[in-house]
Structure 1
Amino acid sequence: MAQRRLVFAAAALIVGPLQFAAANIVAQLAWTTPYSLAHNNISDLGNVHCQVSEDGVPRYICSPLHELLNTSAVLCGVLLIVGLALSSVLWRRSWVGALACVLLALGGSGFVLAGLAPADVDLNLHVVGAFLIMGVGNLGLALSAFARRGNPFAELRVITVAATAIAVVATWTHFSHSYGPFGMGGSERFALFTTQLWFVLLGANLLRAEVRQSSRPPHPSVDHR
């Protein structure tokens, strides 16, 4: 039963980010006006109304598939929370891991909030969602680098440290409006999708660990006669 839970956890952690990335691509391709990865942020894809936005970078926003993007964001958040909950037995091995799990789950809740409250419908709630994703969630990513040795999280320590560095710097540049050469949209994507890629790698590592465990031969019984 425990093994099945971890397989489901791995699947949720992989499918959630991948389907959200796919929804981003499909929603971008549906635009009749040019969509820029540097000058348009992810939230533009979920905006309900067609209008000119003046926040930071003036641009015309009209996303025909905003419902797809927002539904995908909610689904991503739900799957991340489910994946973390099902794998919580691994995170609870230390208080740092348990705290990291909670913060990452809060980041998942940010996807749900951002999807339910598009930026042009309720900007305040949408910003709270974005902060949970890129602020709180990325803090959880940083703490997961301190996972104990001997579990699937520790095996990703080097990748986790690298992903944390990229995500934290990108989050800082995005919220401070110091976008740099990647622009407003580029900095947001590095802050968000770096952690999402880490989730996919984490899920794949969990799945590999479970396959490896199930393929081990059973321990021979000991005859005490």
Structure 2
Amino acid sequence: MDMNLNRTGRVGALCWVAAAPIFLIASLVTGLRWREPTYSWAIQNISDLGNAHCGMWDSSRLRYVCSPWHPLMNAATLATALLLAAGLLLTWRILGRGAVVRSAQTLLLLATGGYALAALYPADVDENLHVLGAFLIMGLGNVGLLLAGFAPGTTTLGRWRRITLTAGLVALVGTVLFFAQQGVGIGVGGMERVAVLPFPLWACCLGVLLAETATNRARSPNPTHHDSMIDGR
């Protein structure tokens, strides 16, 4: 396995670590600013937090939406997109080679574009582009996440197959149930989070693992032997 985490790779790992907390904290703060009605994590969509106007929304699940701090949510979502994309690009070679790894990385990179579209085009501003963003995140992105779980064990990405496969399976199940409008005890809004959050949470975990592995490697009293163990030589 190629686990030479240089300065560029470290920056990429840190970008991944930062993305999920920014998104989650902004979601919490923005949701808490709702008044009459209060924000429901089970009923409301994530997109409701970023809607720019107050009013009735979504004919399929009609509800009143009014998010006074929507600029915070949209700015945080855009920051999440940029951090996830930077993390992918800066760790591109480190994660491994081969068709499976590159296909997974490409699909995940497209998903980061989905976050950007969702942030720049709130659902009540341009619903078509917003829906396209959602498709990139929950459709292509989650397929890419599951595909990443099948990376060869000889690659850096393949070292964390279990966590990656788990994240991909949870995300795809959440996606299917969300589009089927099945809340399964946590509400449709809760199910959307099951579909959307695995990617940034997985990236955060992977960023920590990459940084930790590189730190342990640097502290090894016998770097050559440690490298051989990691690279399977």
SS at match of 1:60: strand
Q: Is the 8 A contact 1:6 1:210 kept in 2?
A: no
Deviations 1:131-162, CA, capped at 9 Å, x for gaps? 10111110110111112224442232112222
Q: Does 1:46 align with 2:50?
A: yes
The match for 1:117 is: 121
User: Of the candidates 11, 17, 21, which is equivalent to residue 20 of structure 2?
Assistant: 17
Mark the CA change 1:204 to 1:152 in structure 2 (over 3 Å): closer, same or farther.
farther
The match for 1:223 is: none
User: Of the candidates 186, 205, 217, which is equivalent to residue 182 of structure 1?
Assistant: 186
Cα deviation, residue 13, structure 1: 0.7
- Percent same amino acid among aligned pairs? 39
Q: Is the 8 A contact 1:39 1:57 kept in 2?
A: no
SS at match of 2:78: helix
Aligned mates of 2:75, 2:212 — CA distance in 1 = 29
Aligned mates of 1:184, 1:28 — CA distance in 2 = 16
Mark the CA change 1:61 to 1:212 in structure 2 (over 3 Å): closer, same or farther.
same
- Number of equivalent positions: 220
What is the identity, as a one-letter code, of the residue corresponding to 2:145? L
SS at match of 2:59: coil
Deviates more, 1:105-114 or 1:168-177: 168-177
Cα-Cα RMSD: 1.7
Aligned mates of 1:180, 1:58 — CA distance in 2 = 20
Q: Which runs of 4+ in 1 moved over 6 A?
A: none
Q: Does 1:97 align with 2:104?
A: no
TM-score if structure 1 supplies the norm length? Answer: 0.92
Q: Does 1:30 align with 2:33?
A: yes
Aligned mates of 1:54, 1:86 — CA distance in 2 = 39
Aligned mates of 1:216, 1:157 — CA distance in 2 = 25
User: Of the candidates 74, 78, 84, which is equivalent to residue 78 of structure 2?
Assistant: 74
Q: Is the 8 A contact 1:144 1:153 kept in 2?
A: yes
Q: Is the 8 A contact 1:17 1:200 kept in 2?
A: yes
TM-score if structure 2 supplies the norm length? Answer: 0.89
Aligned mates of 2:41, 2:224 — CA distance in 1 = 54
User: Of the candidates 189, 209, 214, which is equivalent to residue 218 of structure 2?
Assistant: 214
SS at match of 1:143: helix
Cα deviation, residue 214, structure 1: 1.7
SS at match of 2:60: coil
The match for 1:167 is: 171
Deviations 1:36-82, CA, capped at 9 Å, x for gaps? 11110100000000101133322111101100000111110111111
Q: Is the 8 A contact 1:138 1:167 kept in 2?
A: yes
What is the identity, as a one-letter code, of the residue corresponding to 1:15? A
What is the identity, as a one-letter code, of the residue corresponding to 2:216? R
SS at match of 2:159: helix
The match for 1:204 is: 208
Aligned mates of 1:127, 1:120 — CA distance in 2 = 11
SS at match of 2:56: strand
Cα deviation, residue 20, structure 1: 0.7
Q: Is the 8 A contact 2:96 2:156 kept in 1?
A: no
Q: Does 1:138 align with 2:142?
A: yes
What is the identity, as a one-letter code, of the residue corresponding to 2:219? S
